[in-house]
Chain A
């Protein structure tokens, strides 16, 4: 099956000029006689009989016909609908990738110039050979113009396609780079004023002038040379003008894509690619972008913040220093005294208030528990409290303190 598809595609490619001609006609239908005429123009078809055979072959081609008899107009043929897109695609690919074909055609012209030169300066003047060379050059000239024009139009279309694409920036940039490096640059190198095309045409024109001045050659061959030189002049003008106008149109469009995107843009696109392929977690955004939150470790809750802010607002500036503790634990583990008094009242009686505070404030260091307890006890009547009798060892977070046990009735 694969080989059949390959054969099919090769046939489409081989007959592309014919198929393109049909596609250019209204409704993609032409009279059969016209199709035979176009088939005759193909390189590998050298007689009308072979052109007729080719058309019949295409009408019955397996696995799928490449041409079909028109159902609308008698004795006319059309291109099957399902083939149109394929032909357009192949055409586009061929046209856009034709720089090496153009180079091959120029090489052909160059070879013919060498042949003519050998003939003109050789021992024997072979008129027939010169004629053949002139005909070959003329055919090459026509092909060269078609190839170059089709190529430039295909490139223009490709640039417009990139421009209107909804693909990501990076993908469109890749497309633009590929177009520039694989197609535009090689074609420009050939067509530019200092390129191989103009050099070959100038060389060819020189050789044709030489023929025109050779009065030992008959008028026919000298006139053919003159016509060919004029034709080459026109062809080179058409190609260079089209090249200039194409480049003027596409360069500003391509320039946008050929500019490197900023690091920020590339980074964002990279990040999205990673998120799409590996998952968002792979970017570890939580550790890259710290955004503060209101509640920190449950210590700086709303009330604590309010206390701090109140203390600052109430402060009288002038000259006295605003004393703050040295280290974080001393401030972030303070126990609100008012709340502590309320808790003690709610849980009275109790034998050991400090132990109660220690048990209720797990994260608060022993020394702060002790300070908070003493500050809270100041608010109770001495008669409500019970002291000792023993001295007790209190142990918390590897800190040990000795204190008299204080309870409340």
Chain B
């Protein structure tokens, strides 16, 4: 694959999954494995230009996965629910597993039951209700959405959720919030 200039995009010889790749990325899926991932990685320049024409940035994350992003406010309403789910799950893990530093990418994943409504604190439930998540069906919908976007897998028994590499986006988001709000607080104290 090679490109001459911005207006000319040369297609390589191994673009057998282009339709699937573009389809998945436009639907918000993170691509981190399989033939689509291999093709995307081998033809990054081509795909970057295709999405550039749509004013979208095909981003290759340091943790080895691809996703589309755009420099504007998110239009996907699910972003808030997904973040909230992630934050609450982390707090639950710290309490139930007594672990302040869990390995989120461990292959065994985490019990889905950690996020059953009946086990959540009233504070957690109130936050979820703000996002119109009232019951386990609502939580399952968020899990399915996250699965669709490539953030996680659900094991064969449907009992455990296993995070994929794209979860690093949410991990970085947590760290960014910590830095930003800690700085703000320090600034206010001064």
Contact = CB atoms under 8 A, between A and B. Distances in A.
Interface of A: 163, 166-169, 172-173, 256-257, 259-272, 274-276, 280, 283, 285-294, 296, 300, 305, 308-309, 312-313, 315, 317, 321-326, 328, 331-332
Interface string B141-165: 0000000010000000000000000
Given A272-B87, A272-B127, A326-B7, A291 B175 contact: no
Contact of A259 (B55, B90, B100, B182): B100
Given A168-B94, A267-B178, A324 B53 contact: yes
B78 interface: yes
A312 B26 contact: no
A167 to B, nearest CB: 8
Nearest to A295: B75
B123 A291 contact: no
Contacts, number: 197
B80 interface: yes
16 contacts: A260-B100, A261-B94, A262-B102, A265-B102, A269-B94, A285-B74, A286-B73, A289-B169, A289-B173, A291-B82, A292-B76, A293-B75, A300-B54, A313-B18, A324-B8, A328-B55
A31 to B, nearest CB: 47
Contacts of B84: 275, 280, 285
Interface of B: 4, 6-13, 15, 18-19, 22-23, 25-28, 49-50, 53-56, 67-70, 72-76, 78-80, 82-84, 86-88, 90-91, 94-95, 98-102, 104, 121, 123-124, 126-127, 130-131, 149, 169-171, 173-179, 181-182
A322 B10 contact: yes
Nearest to A270: B178
A173 to B, nearest CB: 7
A170 B76 CA distance: 31
Contacts of A263: 174-175, 178
Contact of A293 (B76, B95, B121): B76
B95 A271 contact: no
A280 B11 contact: no
Contact of B79 (A163, A265, A286, A317): A286
Contacts of A169: 91, 94-95, 100
Contact of A283 (B75, B104, B177): B177
A324 B149 contact: no
Contacts of B78: 291
Nearest to B12: A317
B53 A276 contact: no
A280 B173 contact: no
